Amino acid sequence: AQAQLESPIMRPVLSLALCLCCCALAECQRRRVEELPRLLFRPNFTQYSGYLTSSSGSGGSRRLFYWLVESSHVDAATAPLVLWMNGGPGCSSVGGLLMTNGPFLANDRAELERNDFAWNRLANVLYIDSPSGVGLSEPGPTDPTELNDNATTRLNLGALLHFYSLFPEYRGRAFYIAGESYAGIYIPLLASAIIEGGHRPGLINLKGIAVGNGLHVPFDRSAFEASRRALTDALGASLGRTKIYSVKVQNNSMRTLNPYNIVQPCYYEEDVSGYPCLNSTALVSYLNDKAAQAALGLNDTVAREYSICHKSVFHAYKQLKRDVLEDFVRMANHSVLVLLYHGALDYLFPVGITQQLLERLPPDPDPLSSQDVWLYCLNEPGYGLQIGGVQRSYLGGRIKYRTVIGAGHSVATDRPEIGLQLLQDFLATSASDARFESCPTEKAESASIAANAAEQPSARIAIAALCICALGFRDRI
């Protein structure tokens, strides 16, 4: 494996040298974001944006847009660095910032509102639009020699190395990669390249990866359809009729059923440039606004037409078509924590697909840690601990799997409070010091209550039935 990965690693090093020259250009420097138009509050954290220069190896130098939001609640000088990536392929991580887990979310009037569950409460979060042509990154060639998983891995690694050269204070800092959907391929490949390339821990101190509703396997129509059908059957059963799938869903699933979250309605009035079923007009108009682009340092040469997802990239992109379980095991072997979390109401990448992949690993023997409900703290008066979903663990806890109640494809969008808790637990598990604990005493008490309940068969079944019903797991017990 070392020999195979040698050349992919060398190229970013060369491209780093190359980009240092290009970065005489103003927009390649680290550039603070001072004033964002229509931002409804005054942020007390620092932000930077601009380009990172990289190469995929076969093509020339490419400029990828990045946006770094430093931590608002933890000392930014010591807080970990989290790279967030959206999937597609072809979808923009900056879109993820403004509608998923960033410090501000675009509202219907194309204003930016505070997100109380922003991930930069706990970490410095770096968003990169990748590969070329995605989001605010410069357009690149739309051919499969550059738009494929191997080329994207080299491009992402090169961009990351450029980031460390622009922001030396992050060298050796605890580093995590998180993302969702097709980033379920990008992230393990990038993590493997970091591990195999020996960049850790002096420069890239990779501690863990977290993927939400990831695609980790080649798309297999019959396996996906079977898992989707299990989900709609569970929904159907709760509605009083099992077979809703064949009646209305199958023929036009993108309209009568929101594939990102089966209990949410689907918006489809206009031609969507982003995710189906989502009215992203306001977000797209914000990022196409010249004043917003200038605030982000993009008043230079290239005329861009921002889309949340670029169809041309999606169609040209060539997938590697292998599963990434081996990459997860490699990370576990190198003590890199792997968290796979999955919003249970996702029809697009149904929960059963990830479960099938993980069934190839032996589960950890302790039943309480390997197969149990997990709790999150809803930190509001009168609430406290709530069921978050089901969890299992593998390879001595180094691979963790969590389903998420009430969430679809994007956990942090649908259930932002649970998304933040997932991040908190993930960071705390991989670091020696647990920080930012909410409901700490109550948590300890209820965890033992849950453990006691689980020892009594009837209570255990009741809890399991509740979760299975709520999570649409009908066929899995």
Ligand X SMILES: *[C@@H]1O[C@H](CO)[C@@H](O)[C@H](O)[C@H]1NC(C)=O
Q: Which residues here bind ligand X, judged by CB under 6 A?
A: 4-5, 44, 72-73, 108, 150, 246, 250-251, 269, 279, 281-282, 294, 299, 326, 329-330, 333
Distance CA 435, CA 11 (A): 38
Of 5 and 36, CB closest to ligand X: 5
Of 60 and 396, CB closest to ligand X: 396
Of 24 and 477, CB closest to ligand X: 24
Nearest approach, Cβ of residue 252 and ligand X (Å): 8
Residue 124's beta-bridge partner residues?
81
What is the bridge-based pairing of β-strands 61-69 and 112-114? unpaired
Residue 235 three-state SS: helix
163 class by beta-carbon count within 10 Å (0-12 exposed, 13-18 middle, 19+ buried):
buried
- Under 8 Å CB-to-CB from 310, ≥6 apart: which residues? 88, 90, 91, 92, 133, 134, 135
Q: How far is CA 118 from CA 90, 98, 178, 202, 273, in A?
A: 24, 10, 14, 28, 25
Q: Which helix (H) or strand (E) holds 404?
A: strand 399-404
Of 71 and 137, CB closest to ligand X: 71
Of 120 and 261, CB closest to ligand X: 120
Closest CA to 378 of 370, 367, 386, 369: 386
Nearest approach, Cβ of residue 477 and ligand X (Å): 29
Of 41 and 219, CB closest to ligand X: 41
Of 121 and 207, CB closest to ligand X: 121
Asked, as a colleague might, if the bond just before 363 is cis with ω within 30 of 0, I would say: no
Residue 62's beta-bridge partner residues?
54
Nearest approach, Cβ of residue 365 and ligand X (Å): 17
Nearest approach, Cβ of residue 163 and ligand X (Å): 21
Distance CA 197, CA 191 (A): 10
Nearest approach, Cβ of residue 454 and ligand X (Å): 31
Residue 148's beta-bridge partner residues?
318
Nearest approach, Cβ of residue 145 and ligand X (Å): 10
Nearest approach, Cβ of residue 467 and ligand X (Å): 31
Dihedral sign from CA coordinates of 425, 427, 432, 433: negative
